[in-house]
Amino acid sequence: MADIPLEPTAHNRPRFSIRGWQARLIASRKFQKWAAQSPFTRRLVRREGEALFDLLAGFCHSQILMALVKFDIPTILMSGPMKTDLLAAHCNVPLERMAILLRAGAALGLLKSRNGKKYALTRTGAALVGVPGLPQMIQHHDVLYRDLADPVAFFKGEVDTELAGFWPYVFGGDIDPAVADTYSDLMARSQILVAEDTLRAIDFSDIKNLMDVGGGSGAFLAAVGAAEQRPHLTLFDLPQVAPTAANRFAKEGLTKRTTICAGSFREDPFPQNIDAISLVRVLYDHDDDSVRALLKKCRAALPKSGRLIISEPMSGGHQPSRAGDAYFALYTLAMRTGKARSAQEIAALCKDAGFKTVRFPKTMRPFVTTCLDVYVS
């Protein structure tokens, strides 16, 4: 593993850009008509045209996905192919409309049919059912869609977003117990893949006492405890959230190896004798000032041999990524508190907080999470 470069390199710069005269040429209808007919360019024109149309139709695609999940059609089809009329009756949807939805699902590669009368899952459709937390996140997206209904007002900052109300813990105030349970459940379900990829990327075997700040119901620490027998595990989160971890730790046989500390990282002191701290999907929930304060607090709590492990979806930085910059950046903007940062930005914040070495291990699925392995010395 190498230290993260804080400046752009040849490997992370955009690969292609065009000059003004080239843009004007490509935009002209005369050139477009010629390029669509030329044997040298027509395949490229068709491919780029299809990509543009996919962007145009993207909202419809997401709504098709939402409808399939809300009707629970992928789960129903896990038992085998089913006729359109039976699915329509089961979901209480008019037959002609169910036929349109199923054909749309097939067009998106989630379903398949030989004759249009009976549908089955594709591999992608089956994977949708099995990805931990994904159906729940899809159903939760109706909030985000409403926030983005007027994108111009959204990017001007004129929308009082619903998503900010869904995640009130970020503001550090009192949380209704029912809201806390909803938050904890959604976070725990979607935490499974993050934990898997983090454990693949980072070696936890030499850690004696790991504290997970903002650990919710303990899903990440439970995964660490299952993979590593050595470390004692400390969970630090808000009083309305942290107690939910006790049942998880008991179920996993980790009660003797775990400590639950209820508190706010903004106001309450961290426990002593911690040699490693993990921040899993925490930094992107908060603004720069809060992140700076948290990182300095982590540095002050760690010994000279201490480590800080950061894992969350990140921006692509100088080379924007679809996941980090066209999804998580908007999601955090709708939350009104955080932002998607690049690995280089987070590395710089860590060094400003007093950490000396920042390493960037590769993760298997950057669209799930990216990791930083940060050392005090």
247-279 pLDDT, tens digit each? 899 999 999 999 999 999 999 999 999 999 999
pLDDT at 182 (0 to 100): 57
- Final residue in a domain of this structure, among 130, 148, 163: 130
Higher pLDDT, 147 or 114: 147
> Is the pLDDT assigned to residue 136 strictly greater than 90?
no
Q: Are both 101 and 215 inside the same structural domain?
A: no
Per the domain annotation, does 222 fall within a domain? Answer: yes
Per the domain annotation, does 27 fall within a domain? Answer: no
Question: Rounded to two decimals, what is the model's pTM?
Answer: 0.86
Return the CATH number at 78.
1.10.10.10
Structural domain span for residue 295: 134-375
Give the residue-averaged pLDDT of 347-372: 96
Q: Are both 321 and 290 inside the same structural domain?
A: yes
**Averaged confidence pLDDT in the chain:** 89
Q: Are both 112 and 152 inside the same structural domain?
A: no
Q: Are both 368 and 222 inside the same structural domain?
A: yes
pLDDT at 374 (0 to 100): 98
Q: Are both 96 and 166 inside the same structural domain?
A: no
Q: Are both 152 and 83 inside the same structural domain?
A: no
Higher pLDDT, 190 or 66: 66
Q: Are both 338 and 193 inside the same structural domain?
A: yes
Confidence class for position 113, pLDDT limits 50, 70, 90: very high
Per the domain annotation, does 86 fall within a domain? Answer: yes
Confidence class for position 6, pLDDT limits 50, 70, 90: very low
Q: Are both 245 and 351 inside the same structural domain?
A: yes
Task: Convert the pLDDT of each residue in 28-61 to its tens digit.
Answer: 888 778 877 888 888 887 888 888 889 999 999 9
Q: Are both 141 and 214 inside the same structural domain?
A: yes
> Is the pLDDT assigned to residue 3 strictly greater than 50?
no
Return the CATH number at 361.
3.40.50.150
Per the domain annotation, does 328 fall within a domain? Answer: yes
The percentage of residues in the chain with a pLDDT greater than 70, rounded to a whole number, is 90
Per the domain annotation, does 267 fall within a domain? Answer: yes
Confidence class for position 230, pLDDT limits 50, 70, 90: very high
- Final residue in a domain of this structure, among 130, 146, 174: 130
Q: Are both 210 and 92 inside the same structural domain?
A: no
> Is the pLDDT assigned to residue 5 strictly greater than 60?
no
Give the residue-averaged pLDDT of 159-185: 65
Q: Which residue do the tokens 């899903």 mark?
A: 219
Confidence class for position 223, pLDDT limits 50, 70, 90: very high
Pairing of strands 111-112, 232-237: unpaired
Q: Are both 280 and 257 inside the same structural domain?
A: yes
- Final residue in a domain of this structure, among 76, 108, 130: 130
Confidence class for position 14, pLDDT limits 50, 70, 90: very low
Q: Are both 141 and 284 inside the same structural domain?
A: yes
> Is the pLDDT assigned to residue 18 strictly greater than 60?
yes
Which candidate, 117, 97, 297, 153, places its Cα nearest to that of 213?
297
Task: Convert the pLDDT of each residue in 318-333 to its tens digit.
Answer: 999 999 999 999 999 9
Counting the structural domains of the chain, the total is 2
